[in-house]
Amino acid sequence: MQTSHTSWRSTLVSKMALLLSLLYTLCLVGQVLGQDMPHEEYIAQIQACPKECRCPTNFPRAVYCDNKGLKSIPKIPPHTWYLYLQNNLIEVLSADALRNATQLRWLNLNRNKITSEGVEEGVLSSMSHLAHIYMDDNLLSSVPSPLPASLEYLRLSRNRISKIPTGVFIGLDKLNLLDLQANKLMDDAVTEVSLKGLNNLVQINLAKNQLNSMPNGLPPTTTQLFLDGNNIEKIPAGYFKGLPKVAFLRLNNNKLDSSGVPRNVFNVSSILDLQLSHNQLTEVPFIPSGLEHLHLDHNNIKSVSGANVCPVAVETVDDSIDESVPRLRYLRLDGNDIKPPIPRDVILCFRLLRSIVI
């Protein structure tokens, strides 16, 4: 009797000890996470937390004010690095509310009601560490300006942007990604002058705008270029000579026909993924040797022959798989007028092809 009672008690005690040590560990973790800032700053930060927001004690550089139905930005505490304001009804990007938030790294304003008039003078450029701006799904009519030189990612999709202020990107040497998808940009807005300064841009998304021609002035560092869903009819000969790093190129849902696409315009050695679905092409363009994925579905192509599309003379491709073998692995040709089977010389040419949709 006595023995079993003792053992029951000792089990309970050991369970409580485990629980306590677990709690202690959690507190320690909390303290460790909070320790990337001096204690006084930590206290100031937590005390200045706006009542509308949540400031986690174990992650004191973050302020969460998302999904609160806010109509304006509350006063943001001074040591904030990560600010979440998405899914509100904010109309004004207020310089006053953000006056002390000069340390911001990350600003999420997606799905609000901010207009270009609502972006107050100098509010973004005073944040000299700001690397990420998310302003998707707002009511902007122009790219906000001026922007801080620290900026790396600028997301502005699904606004009403029709203007890029002259020189807005000058000095933005760290800008890597520019997302302007689903706006109202026309040819005259996207020019060498308006894009000047994008010296390290890697990805630009101009899909779903109102472009009638290929944009001018894209920087030679561009690797990913997305232009789907515009009204582009032709590509000037040699267009990609100015883009020697382009690897992912999307031109789906445009108005390209074969008379507007010089046969060897895509002969760029950097290109890996080329998407030309839902256009009006009647011929397969020249396929460069290094291309791995090609989407040509939903065009008006009637035939495909190895003699026309193989980047090397078919007879020189021998049985061995070496450097000279074209890299194409995936080919979509469905939604055209091509009758199967795929000609033998196409198969012989692209011997790394894993999947072909016809």
Ligand X SMILES: *[C@@H]1O[C@H](CO)[C@@H](O)[C@H](O)[C@H]1NC(C)=O
- Residue numbers at the binding site for ligand X (CB under 6 A): 75, 78, 96, 99-100, 264, 267, 286
Closest CB to ligand X among residues 57, 264: 264
Show the CA angle centred on residue 96, arms to residues 93 and 97, nearest 5°: 70
Nearest position to ligand X, beta carbon: 264
Fill in the DSSP letter of residue 312.
S
Structure tokens at 54: 């949540």
User: Helix, strand or coil for residue 257?
Assistant: strand
CB of 10 to ligand X, least distance (A): 53
Closest CB to ligand X among residues 88, 267: 267
Closest CB to ligand X among residues 20, 237: 237
What is the C-alpha to C-alpha distance for residues 180 and 162, in angstroms, rounded to an integer? Answer: 10
What is the C-alpha to C-alpha distance for residues 206 and 46, in angstroms, rounded to an integer? Answer: 41
Dihedral-angle region of residue 96 (phi above 0 means left; psi in -120 to 50 means alpha; beta otherwise): alpha
How many H-runs (helices) and E-runs (strands) does the chain carry?
Answer: 4, 13
CB of 286 to ligand X, least distance (A): 5
Closest CB to ligand X among residues 314, 358: 314
Closest CB to ligand X among residues 99, 129: 99
CB of 309 to ligand X, least distance (A): 11
CB of 253 to ligand X, least distance (A): 26
Strand stretches in the chain, DSSP E: 62-64, 82-84, 106-108, 132-134, 153-155, 177-179, 203-205, 224-226, 248-250, 273-275, 293-295, 330-332, 355-357
Fill in the DSSP letter of residue 38.
-
Fill in the DSSP letter of residue 315.
G
Closest CB to ligand X among residues 248, 286: 286
CB of 263 to ligand X, least distance (A): 7
Closest CB to ligand X among residues 153, 286: 286
Structure tokens at 76: 């943001």
Q: Which of 135, 136, 129, 170 is nearest to 152 (CA)?
A: 129
CB of 73 to ligand X, least distance (A): 10
CB of 246 to ligand X, least distance (A): 14
CB of 99 to ligand X, least distance (A): 5
| C-beta of residue 290 within 8 angstroms of C-beta of residue 272 | yes
Closest CB to ligand X among residues 96, 192: 96
